[in-house]
Amino acid sequence: MGKVAVVTSSMACLPQTFIDQYQIHIIRPFVVWGGESFRDGADLTPTEFYRNLKESKVLPTTATPSLGEFVDAYNEAGRGAEAVVAIHVSRELSYMYELGGQAAREISSVPVQVIDSRSVAMAMGFVVLAAARAAADGAGVQEVTEAAQAVIPKMNLFFVVDTLEYLHRSGRIGGAAALVGSVIQVKPILYLTEGKIDVLEKPRTKGRAVRRMVEIMAERTEKSPVYASILHADALEKAQELRDVVASRFDCFELYITDITPVVGVHAGPGTLGLAFYTGN
């Protein structure tokens, strides 16, 4: 472990290989379903979750871990480290950042720097990776913090859902609320702006929405090399197709396919397909 330990949540949707490689500490929120609580990505895998979600008449909800669990996670991460950098989902989407800040103030054994990623899923994951890689290279807490913060304003996250119903019921729908119940059938491209969900464009079909996401990516990257990830909620075949398109059109430093974890999937719903990317050297 480097001088700085990095903590995040399962909502970053990081592949396990990176968690292991960089010894990233993961806090896991809960999916609450039928009176039972399941720890995200541990007690309930994405495959199990989406299969059951399609068949269930009872919609799940989510719950944040307790303040004590945050404190325990920070203390565990701080063992053998000089400082902890904790990166959490946008405060506009979750209470995780606020709880993380409260927990940091409870810790006296090691300094804890808490960062709002202003994002979620692998868009947040890239912020975490920037910090973890800096920490692995031996950077101090200020440099690790700056590495994460440098990625945040560059990050883009677009996604298209099969239905807006899950976002609507969970209260995370943001600027897309006006489209719920519309007689005009559209498959809006949703995106994160200032940490909140809004509508970017309103194509009529999901296929057009996915093609348009790639076009917007090209407009925003202007042929610069990119870090990118395809996000999916039980839509692996479509994710692989989108990955192939991105690989053929862009100069990718890194390109991954990542699962949308159950806690995020509660809000997005099955079939969601997304694209997270940023330019960098």
Residue 182's pLDDT band (boundaries 50, 70, 90)?
very low
Residue type, 274: G
Q: Is a pLDDT exceeding 50 seen at residue 47?
A: yes
- Looking at residue 168, its pLDDT comes to 62
- Looking at residue 79, its pLDDT comes to 93
Rg (CA), the chain: 18
**At the topology level of CATH, where does 4-29+64-152 sit?**
Rossmann fold (3.40.50)
**Mean pLDDT lowest for which of 114-123, 125-134, 160-169?**
160-169
- Looking at residue 268, its pLDDT comes to 85
Separation of alpha carbons 137 and 120, rounded Å: 25
Separation of alpha carbons 152 and 113, rounded Å: 16
Residue 198's pLDDT band (boundaries 50, 70, 90)?
confident
Q: Phi first, then psi: give them for residue 137, nearest 5 degrees.
A: -85, 0
- Domain ranges, ordered by start, for the chain: 4-29+64-152, 155-279
| Cβ neighbours, 10 Å, residue 61 | 13
When comparing pLDDT for 109 and 67, which is higher? 67
Residue type, 186: V
What are the b/e assignments for 206-233, b being 16+ CB within 10 Å? beebbebbbebbeeebeeeebbbbbbbb
The predicted model scores a pTM of 0.93
**At the topology level of CATH, where does 155-279 sit?**
Hypothetical Protein Tm841; Chain: A;domain 3 (3.30.1180)
Q: What tokens appear for 28 in the block?
A: 């896991």
Q: Chain-wide mean pLDDT for the chain?
A: 91
Q: What tokens appear for 103 in the block?
A: 């927990």
Equal fold, 4-29+64-152 vs 155-279: no
Q: Is a pLDDT exceeding 80 seen at residue 202?
A: yes
